[in-house]
Structure 1
Amino acid sequence: MESWQLFGTQWVELRYVLLACIIFTFFWKSIIGRQSLKLPPGPKGWPLLGILPMLADGERVYKKFTKIAAEHGAIFSARLGMFHCVVLNDYEIIREATCRSGDMFLDRPRTPLFEILGGGKGIGGAFYSEGWKDHRRFSLKMMRSYGVGQAHIEPMIAREAWFLNKEFASENGKPFNPTPYLGNATANVICAIMFGNRFKFDDPWFVKMMTILGDMGHLFKVSGPINCFPFLRHIPFSPYKKLRKLVDDHYIFLDKKINEVKLGYVEANPRQFIDAYLDEVRKREVDGYVGTLDEAHLKFDISDMFNAGTETSANTLKWAVLYLALYPEIQVKVQDEMDLVIGRKRMPLLSDRSQLPYTMATLAEVQRIGCIAPLSVPHAATEDTTLRGYDIPKGTIVTLNIWSVMFDPEVWPEPEKFKPERFLNENGCYSKNEKLIPFSIGRRNCVGEQLAVMELFIYFTHLLHRFKLKYPDEEPTPDLEGFFGATLGPYPYKVCALERSLDFEYRQPMQRE
């Protein structure tokens, strides 16, 4: 008995010694070890917690960062729990870090969130420095082969816009929540590219997938504390365990669909993204080089494409419908312009964009004020480096405060106001501003940007060409702060879609083979 008690006592003491060593090492590396570095200035923060108490007053993090930047400078550093973070709050600094500094700031941080998105072990090749370039290059190549960024894909998107308009029309002018319809429309284009076909909005597989994607959209909202203190994931009933199960279920769900599609795979005869991916894997096996582009990573790339090409577009459209319903005078200007240029005998085409300056300006203003990715996706320094004369140690989380750029009053006077005219020049022509960066910027910007740009224009113009959008009188004033999960979108709201007359039969467009 005495020997067992002694062993137990020694074990308890050993655990305390190990804990003390861990705490000492943490403080040495995070505080003493950094004193010799010239880090960006920033608020001191609390021991262990860093500036987290400053961020706990309910104000949105991106707004708080903007205020800190006003005091400490456009590039500041701070500790968020156990992680050191550098926040960039100026367009030129963000551009320098993401476009001009090689790959120095293009990694992703090793946080619990990315760990579970990478399949539990961070193997998702689309995320980390070991394989992200290869995966991104291949994904962009395949997207281009399916016509993304070209007129070839327009019939596919127009066809989905027809289904979207059909759902709006089915509400018969009564108040309804447009959120599910908009999400379904954007996801179905990705489905057609990934799996080779669209799904009916009530298809069981499609409904389940959209539910999972919606739940995953809340990841950032509930994962914050765990990302700052990774050891919290080991606490019983931790939200991390729910998140991990959700993501695991998501990948299992995708695996089933991928295996169904693979049953019809014929080498060198690709029908969609999955077939093309398998062709590439086979080719690399013959050449003796595969890297991380293998069948085990296919589900990660498909998931990444859904996350990049669905929620971003859907949330932008949600903001567009809401703002146009709240600003009927702007809506009328858009519709008058389309009626003058396009008429009522056909639907808008991508080729009409150059002749619709006010429509383009309105859509740009929606993207600015909606700011769907206010903090972008976190970056990380790939090695010890510098930026604007400051030291940035390897592994430092680099956050791009896109919101501070989109709401910079020196660039956008009265940034809180919805003013499409800010994108028109003195001649009334649409004037694109390089500081409008809704999809972030640089070599790790949103991989679905080109597709999103095409979708937004077609869905937006088709809806406004056919319907007058009205915010119901009996509905409460909407909260334009929005819900900040994985992206920033409006809280659920209702709208009325009143049909405008067309001088032709609006039939379902045929998809080009």
Structure 2
Amino acid sequence: MIDLLGGGESSFGQLNALTITATLGVVTATLALWTMMRPKGFPPGPRGLPIVGSIFSMNDSPEVVFGKWSKQYGDIFGFKVGERWMVVINRQALIKEAVLKQGVDFADRPDFYSMDIFTEGYKDIAFSPYSETWKLHRKLAHSALRHFATGKPLQDLISSVYPKIERYLAEKEGKPVDPKLLLTLLMYNVLTQMCFGTSYELESPVVVKWVKMADEFNEQFGLGLAADFFPWAKYVPSSGPRFIKNSSKGFFAMMRALADESRKKYDSENINDFYSLLLKAQDDARKEGENVDKLTDTHIFQTILDIFSAGTQTTIETLYWAMALLVTYPEFQKKVQTEIDDVIGRDRLPTINDRGKLPHTEATLYEVMRYSSILPTAVPRATTRDTTLGGYSIPKGAVVMINTYSMHYDPQEWDQPDKFLPDHFLSSSGTVRDHPPSFLPFGAGRRGCLGEAVAKADLFLIFTWFMQNYTFSRVPGKESEDILKMIPQTASGRLLRPYEIMINKRD
């Protein structure tokens, strides 16, 4: 009897264990399948795996992966990465429909954990949600740019750094140079004066440290953090968040030192830099009792950090590409130099008023922007509400990737898009095509680049001055070296690996 009861209890226990195991298996399988169910009317795309989605299919740079998928699924496709639904929009018709005609629907930002760290809780402009606070700070930044970064003030500011560049290059005459450091030193000087009214020696240890930190970040950040797509992952100790927190501390410490010095000199009756203008707006808000919560010290710091970062990185990387391309294609360099000699000569500096008079120079610069496509997919957006695009339904909060690379390399819009050809931006009459329909290097709509006009002016003045005064060439003995190699899979865009060239004063 005891044996029979014992055997019965054992069988019953085994049955319960099997039932529990089977139930857990069914529940797990159901949950896994549920994670793969696409929202009703969602764009077609790769199905991916349960739980993780298509994360393992992102095994190359985004523009390469998205290019393959667009051929398979069309100009708009969707997929899932972790817990986030993603939508990619390709080619000019749909992109402009989204960012211009349905601008509000596509004006938000995803709440990525990495950006939460960088922005101290989304208190900046670039990554903060579409809100009244965002509108206020964008308006302030626009006002600051209009006051301090247009026309002659900008021209004088940039030209004040040229003597420092000349001294630096005179010491490097006949030696290989990595122009990334030179360009960073140049732009850091321009932006510290513009933002804080502070000038540095060209090779200040502070600036060199900034360059090192930026390069390290671009190399290690990759395509983001696991916690950007699996929110629970932020509670798991890992190296990614630690790296971003440490990088942020380094960048913040340097910028706060500049901000603190500027605050000491602040005079509400003498506003002559970006940071002072923001402090004045904060003072006015406190006096009037309005928008005080939107103009905290953190908000102001993050806004100035946005202006500084945007004003340096895009210009530096574009000019870095320009130098590499003109070394690779010296015939275009010669053509630009001849035009500058004919129109400007060597006896005066290039000015903003020279734009429109140098078609080959401007066309070459625009072709650098197209060919490099530094941000092949613009900063990710998110939908502010349920919406539709291209006949498909996109739910509120979906991450939206604007694939500008698909515009810049569209064979239906460009003749031989894979080739570097400044003629892409010249009309049949020889004038500049500065707004081709399939060209969008600075974005558009509510989230378009705030400093587009400033960036274009910066690039024109600096590029033209370099071409007027210097010649770029390959390092002797390395004539066959390919210097157009990119850092793979970086969230910061299509960045070139470090290279060296010769930069010699023109006769």
TM-score (norm 1): 0.87
**Which of 392, 408, 424 matches 2:426?**
424
What is the aligned partner in structure 2 of residue 371 from structure 1?
Answer: 373
The answer as to 2:303 corresponding to 1:297 is no
Larger Rg computed on CA atoms = 2
**Which of 462, 465, 470 matches 2:468?**
465
The CA deviation string for residues 274-327 of structure 1, in whole angstroms up to 9 with x for no partner, is: 211111011112222114222221221121112211110000000001111111
What is the aligned partner in structure 1 of residue 53 from structure 2?
Answer: 50
What is the aligned partner in structure 1 of residue 136 from structure 2?
Answer: 134
Cα distance in 1 for partners of 2:377, 2:50 equals: 25
What is the aligned partner in structure 2 of residue 415 from structure 1?
Answer: 417
**Which of 454, 463, 480 matches 2:484?**
480
Cα distance in 1 for partners of 2:407, 2:130 equals: 27
Which secondary structure does the structure 2 equivalent of 1:354 belong to? Answer: coil
Cα drift, residue 489 of structure 1: 2.0
What is the aligned partner in structure 2 of residue 507 from structure 1?
Answer: none
Cα drift, residue 456 of structure 1: 0.8
- Is the deviation greater in 266-275 or in 218-227? 218-227
The answer as to 2:329 corresponding to 1:323 is no
Cα distance in 2 for partners of 1:379, 1:23 equals: 32
Which secondary structure does the structure 2 equivalent of 1:427 belong to? Answer: coil
1:201 touches 1:207 (CA, 8 Å); kept in 2? Answer: no
- Residue ranges of structure 1 left out of the alignment (5+ in a row): 1-15, 502-513
Structure 1 residues 31 and 46, CA gap change in structure 2 (3 angstroms): closer
Q: Percent identity?
A: 30
Which secondary structure does the structure 2 equivalent of 1:489 belong to? Answer: coil
1:3-18 equivalences under 5 Å are none
2:32 touches 2:50 (CA, 8 Å); kept in 1? Answer: no
2:218 touches 2:492 (CA, 8 Å); kept in 1? Answer: yes
Cα drift, residue 224 of structure 1: 4.5
**Which of 456, 460, 473 matches 2:459?**
456
Cα distance in 1 for partners of 2:200, 2:467 equals: 24
- Is the deviation greater in 316-325 or in 440-449? 440-449
1:125 touches 1:293 (CA, 8 Å); kept in 2? Answer: no
What is the aligned partner in structure 2 of residue 80 from structure 1?
Answer: 81
What is the aligned partner in structure 2 of residue 229 from structure 1?
Answer: 230
What is the aligned partner in structure 2 of residue 447 from structure 1?
Answer: 450
Equivalent AA in structure 2 for residue 448 of structure 1: G
Alignment size in residue pairs: 478
Cα distance in 1 for partners of 2:305, 2:484 equals: 29
The CA deviation string for residues 67-98 of structure 1, in whole angstroms up to 9 with x for no partner, is: 21111110100112221100011112111211
Structure 1 residues 162 and 376, CA gap change in structure 2 (3 angstroms): farther
Which secondary structure does the structure 2 equivalent of 1:122 belong to? Answer: coil
Cα drift, residue 225 of structure 1: 3.6
Cα drift, residue 486 of structure 1: 1.2
Cα distance in 1 for partners of 2:104, 2:28 equals: 32
What is the aligned partner in structure 2 of residue 360 from structure 1?
Answer: 362
1:118 touches 1:300 (CA, 8 Å); kept in 2? Answer: yes
Which secondary structure does the structure 2 equivalent of 1:443 belong to? Answer: helix
What is the aligned partner in structure 2 of residue 381 from structure 1?
Answer: 383
1:151-162 equivalences under 5 Å are 151-162=152-163
What is the aligned partner in structure 2 of residue 122 from structure 1?
Answer: 122
Cα distance in 2 for partners of 1:183, 1:25 equals: 53
Cα distance in 2 for partners of 1:169, 1:436 equals: 37
Cα distance in 2 for partners of 1:95, 1:208 equals: 40
Cα distance in 2 for partners of 1:21, 1:140 equals: 56
Cα drift, residue 196 of structure 1: 0.4
Cα drift, residue 248 of structure 1: 2.9
What root-mean-square deviation, in Å, do the aligned CA atoms of Structure 1 and Structure 2 show? Answer: 2.4
Cα distance in 2 for partners of 1:25, 1:185 equals: 58
Structure 1 residues 101 and 496, CA gap change in structure 2 (3 angstroms): same
Cα distance in 2 for partners of 1:498, 1:245 equals: 39
Cα distance in 2 for partners of 1:332, 1:246 equals: 41
Cα distance in 1 for partners of 2:205, 2:29 equals: 53
Which secondary structure does the structure 2 equivalent of 1:240 belong to? Answer: helix
What is the aligned partner in structure 2 of residue 6 from structure 1?
Answer: none
Cα distance in 1 for partners of 2:69, 2:53 equals: 14
Cα drift, residue 236 of structure 1: 3.2
Which secondary structure does the structure 2 equivalent of 1:103 belong to? Answer: coil
Which secondary structure does the structure 1 equivalent of 2:492 belong to? Answer: coil
What is the aligned partner in structure 1 of residue 101 from structure 2?
Answer: 100
Cα drift, residue 391 of structure 1: 1.1
Cα distance in 2 for partners of 1:139, 1:184 equals: 23
Structure 1 residues 139 and 22, CA gap change in structure 2 (3 angstroms): farther
Structure 1 residues 340 and 42, CA gap change in structure 2 (3 angstroms): same
Cα drift, residue 30 of structure 1: 4.3
Cα distance in 2 for partners of 1:361, 1:60 equals: 27
Equivalent AA in structure 1 for residue 359 of structure 2: P
Equivalent AA in structure 1 for residue 368 of structure 2: V
What is the aligned partner in structure 2 of residue 176 from structure 1?
Answer: 177
Equivalent AA in structure 1 for residue 481 of structure 2: T
1:87 touches 1:400 (CA, 8 Å); kept in 2? Answer: yes
The answer as to 2:500 corresponding to 1:499 is no
What is the aligned partner in structure 1 of residue 196 from structure 2?
Answer: 195
1:105 touches 1:382 (CA, 8 Å); kept in 2? Answer: yes
Structure 1 residues 69 and 204, CA gap change in structure 2 (3 angstroms): same
Cα distance in 2 for partners of 1:294, 1:236 equals: 31
2:103 touches 2:446 (CA, 8 Å); kept in 1? Answer: no
Which secondary structure does the structure 2 equivalent of 1:167 belong to? Answer: helix
The answer as to 2:404 corresponding to 1:402 is yes
The answer as to 2:352 corresponding to 1:350 is yes
Cα drift, residue 31 of structure 1: 4.1
Which secondary structure does the structure 2 equivalent of 1:488 belong to? Answer: coil
Structure 1 residues 441 and 29, CA gap change in structure 2 (3 angstroms): farther
The answer as to 2:340 corresponding to 1:338 is yes
The CA deviation string for residues 404-438 of structure 1, in whole angstroms up to 9 with x for no partner, is: 11111111121111110111111111122142211
2:151 touches 2:352 (CA, 8 Å); kept in 1? Answer: no
What is the aligned partner in structure 1 of residue 42 from structure 2?
Answer: 39
- Is the deviation greater in 313-322 or in 176-185? 176-185
The answer as to 2:112 corresponding to 1:111 is yes
Cα drift, residue 186 of structure 1: 1.6
TM-score (norm 2): 0.88
The CA deviation string for residues 70-128 of structure 1, in whole angstroms up to 9 with x for no partner, is: 11110100112221100011112111211221411111101112111221x33446522
Which secondary structure does the structure 2 equivalent of 1:42 belong to? Answer: coil
Cα distance in 1 for partners of 2:313, 2:74 equals: 32
